[in-house]
Chain A
Amino acid sequence: MKLPFRGFSAILYKEFLVVFRDPLTLFFMFVPPLIQLVAFGFALDTDVKHISTLVLDEDRTRESRELVDQFVNTQTFRVVGEVHSVTELADAIRRGQAYVGLQIPPGFTRDLAAGRTARVQVLIDGSNSTIASSSLNTAINVGFRSAMLRLVARTGMRDLPVEVRPQILYNPEMRAPNFFVPGVIGLVLQIATMFATSMSLVRERERGTLEQLMVSPLSRWGLMLGKLVPYLCIAMLMAAGLIGIMQSVFRVPIAGDIRALVIATLLYLFALLSLGLLISTRAQNQIQALQMCMVFILPSIFFSGFIFPRETMPWIFYAIGTILPATYYIELQRAIVLRGACLADSWANIAVLAGMGVGVFSLCALQFKQKMA
Chain B
Amino acid sequence: MIECERLTKRFGTFTAVDHVSFKIGKGSIFGFLGPNGSGKSTVIRLLCGLLQPSDGQARIAGLDVVRELDQIKSLIGYMSQKFSLYDELTAHENLTFYARLYGLRGAALKQRYDQLVGLTHLEPYLSRRAGLLSGGWRQRLAMACSLMHRPSVLFLDEPTAGIDPVARRELWDLLFEFSSNGMTLFVTTHYMDEAERCSHVGYIYMSKLVVCGEPDELKQLPMVNPTDARRIDVTCDHVTTGLQVVRRLPGVRTATVFGQSMHLLVDKDTPEDFIRAELARAGIPHADIRPIAPSLEDVFVTLTSNANQGGGA
For residue A213, CB closer than 8 A to chain B, the reply is yes
Q: Is the CB of A17 within 8 A of B80?
A: no
Chain A contacts of B84 at CB under 8 A? 207-209, 211-212
* Complex CA–CA separation, A307 to B74 (angstroms): 54
Q: Is the CB of A371 within 8 A of B49?
A: yes
Give the contacting residue for B82; candidates A21, A22, A208, A217; CB below 8 A. A208
For residue B45, CB closer than 8 A to chain A, the reply is yes
For residue A68, CB closer than 8 A to chain B, the reply is no
Q: List the count of A-B residue pairs having beta carbons below 8 Å apart.
A: 79
Residues from 64 to 89 in B contacting A, C-beta threshold 8 Å: 70, 73-74, 76, 78, 80-82, 84-89
Residues from 1 to 54 in A contacting B, C-beta threshold 8 Å: 1-2, 6-7, 9-11, 13-14, 17-18, 21-22
Q: Is the CB of B50 within 8 A of A22?
A: no
For residue A214, CB closer than 8 A to chain B, the reply is yes
* Contact A217 B74, CB 8 Å, known A6-B103, A18-B89, A372-B50: yes
Chain B contacts of A207 at CB under 8 A? 82, 84, 87
What is the total number of residues of chain A having a CB less than 8 Å from a CB of chain B? 28
The smallest beta-carbon distance between A226 and chain B, in angstroms, is 10
Give the contacting residue for B96; candidates A1, A13, A371; CB below 8 A. A13
Q: Is the CB of B70 within 8 A of A2?
A: yes
Chain A contacts of B97 at CB under 8 A? 10, 13-14, 17
For residue B116, CB closer than 8 A to chain A, the reply is no
Give the contacting residue for B51; candidates A13, A217, A373; CB below 8 A. A373
Chain B contacts of A7 at CB under 8 A? 100-101, 103
Chain A contacts of B70 at CB under 8 A? 1-2, 217
Give the contacting residue for A218; candidates B51, B101, B146; CB below 8 A. B101
Q: Is the CB of B89 within 8 A of A214?
A: no
Chain B contacts of A11 at CB under 8 A? 101
For residue A155, CB closer than 8 A to chain B, the reply is no
Q: Is the CB of A217 within 8 A of B85?
A: no
Give the contacting residue for A22; candidates B11, B88, B101, B146; CB below 8 A. B88
Give the contacting residue for B89; candidates A1, A10, A21, A370; CB below 8 A. A21
Chain B contacts of A209 at CB under 8 A? 84-86
For residue B258, CB closer than 8 A to chain A, the reply is no
Chain B contacts of A217 at CB under 8 A? 70, 73-74, 101-103
The smallest beta-carbon distance between A28 and chain B, in angstroms, is 15
Q: Is the CB of B93 within 8 A of A17?
A: yes
For residue A215, CB closer than 8 A to chain B, the reply is yes
The smallest beta-carbon distance between A371 and chain B, in angstroms, is 5
Closest B residue to A219 by beta carbon equals B70
Q: Is the CB of A216 within 8 A of B102?
A: yes
For residue B48, CB closer than 8 A to chain A, the reply is yes
Q: Is the CB of A371 within 8 A of B102?
A: no
Residues from 99 to 150 in B contacting A, C-beta threshold 8 Å: 100-103, 145-146
The smallest beta-carbon distance between B149 and chain A, in angstroms, is 8
Q: Is the CB of A18 within 8 A of B85?
A: no
For residue B225, CB closer than 8 A to chain A, the reply is no
Closest A residue to B79 by beta carbon equals A212
Q: Is the CB of A14 within 8 A of B89?
A: yes
Residues from 214 to 236 in A contacting B, C-beta threshold 8 Å: 214-218
For residue B256, CB closer than 8 A to chain A, the reply is no
Chain B contacts of A208 at CB under 8 A? 80-82, 84
A94-131 Cβ-contact flags toward B at 8 Å (1 or 0): 00000000000000000000000000000000000000
Q: Is the CB of A18 within 8 A of B88?
A: yes
* Complex CA–CA separation, A17 to B90 (angstroms): 10
The smallest beta-carbon distance between A6 and chain B, in angstroms, is 7
For residue B52, CB closer than 8 A to chain A, the reply is yes
Select the residue from B50, B82, B98 with max chain A CB neighbours within 10 A: B50
* Complex CA–CA separation, A209 to B87 (angstroms): 10
Chain B contacts of A211 at CB under 8 A? 45, 50, 78, 80, 84
Chain A contacts of B96 at CB under 8 A? 13
Chain A contacts of B48 at CB under 8 A? 215
* Complex CA–CA separation, A2 to B68 (angstroms): 12
Q: Is the CB of B80 within 8 A of A13?
A: no
Closest B residue to A213 by beta carbon equals B101
* Contact A215 B89, CB 8 Å, known A208-B80, A371-B50, A372-B51: no
Closest A residue to B96 by beta carbon equals A13
* Complex CA–CA separation, A10 to B74 (angstroms): 15
* Complex CA–CA separation, A217 to B103 (angstroms): 9
Chain B contacts of A214 at CB under 8 A? 49-50
Chain B contacts of A18 at CB under 8 A? 86, 88-89
* Complex CA–CA separation, A211 to B85 (angstroms): 11
Give the contacting residue for B52; candidates A6, A216, A218, A371; CB below 8 A. A371
**What are 13 A-B pairs at a CB distance below 8 A?**
A10-B101, A17-B88, A17-B89, A208-B84, A211-B80, A212-B78, A212-B80, A215-B49, A216-B73, A216-B101, A217-B101, A371-B52, A372-B51
| Minimum-distance CB pairs A-B, first 6 | A10-B100, A10-B101, A208-B84, A217-B73, A208-B82, A209-B84
Identify the B interface with A (CB < 8 A). 11, 45, 48-52, 70, 73-74, 76, 78, 80-82, 84-89, 93, 96-98, 100-103, 145-146
What 20 new A-B contacts, CB under 8 Å, besides A14-B97, A208-B84? Answer: A13-B96, A13-B97, A13-B100, A14-B86, A14-B89, A21-B88, A207-B82, A211-B45, A211-B80, A212-B84, A212-B145, A213-B101, A215-B78, A216-B102, A217-B103, A370-B49, A372-B45, A372-B50, A373-B51, A373-B52
